[in-house]
Structure 1
Amino acid sequence: MAVVHQDQSDVIQDNFYISQKAVTITPSRDDHGKILRCIASHQELSENLQCTVNMNVHVLPTSVLLFPTGGSQSQSRFIYVQEDSPTSITCRSIGSFPATELSFQLESGNGLDERILPNISSERNNLDDALFDTEATVILHLNIVHHGRYIKCFVSLEESVVELLYAKVIVYGV
């Protein structure tokens, strides 16, 4: 791990002696799980003070796709559906660490988007088995009231959204 040390600063503030030293680190995914330790020592201390931090390194997905299941696995800005016919839509995250969490929302038209629970699966990436590919699929029965609304796929790593994809739903009748 690349580490850059800065000079230590020592000041007296409000009758306290404050020492501070900063480091800048550039972790790699191989540093995941390593422990960083900070130790403060001084002749006036009865024992050294220390704290530890566990490294939790994230690797963002190399790509994320939203597409009709079974169709072209490329990013689609429009999803065409037959009215009142089951439509399967997939969101796929490729090459992340840890595995991403995927969730869907469908625009409701009244400002309260409808959350849709998908079937989710994750597997090791074919090119790098330290990374994960995650796929979420939903089956929707859409009708004309959904025409022009957006379906959204949220891609999260440990509860932080790292990407948002959306496609406009185009509903055609029977």
Structure 2
Amino acid sequence: MQDHQPLLDSFPSFTRMIQVPYVGNSEGLAILWDDAVFELDDISTIEQEIHAMVKLFQMDMVMKLGATNAVVIFTKSSCCISHSIETLIRSFGANPTIYELDTHPNGKQMEKALIELGCQPSVPAIFIGKELVGGANEIMSLNVRGKLKQLLIRANAIWV
């Protein structure tokens, strides 16, 4: 059995990889992930399946972080557009949770997940009311149309 454990160890939600018996004399692999067991049938595609699961884990991690507060912004410390969006949202009285990808230990994985979720560029990425709203263009468009404040109110990020 090829050792894929180092790849799995880089993602805390993966518990471990184990060998499991199949019908007949063959053996397969299974990955334990958040109390779920994923069987990997074809030994030749194990690495591809692991990478697919890693992508799912990364996107799940970002979506869970995006749901931790009424407003969550994924940014980079050097991004002036991200700073402007944060300032705009704070001007309504909201207190967003900020994740700076360039300083966060899992920042690179989170950035890849944001790209997979459709954020181009990856920052800023803004969640309001546990939903991915998008990036700076979407936030500015909502603001120009007078809809950003209402979205923040519906998300309980601000009160009037």
For normalisation by structure 1, the TM-score amounts to: 0.30
State which structure, 1 or 2, has the greater radius of gyration over its C-alpha atoms: 1
Higher share in helix: 2
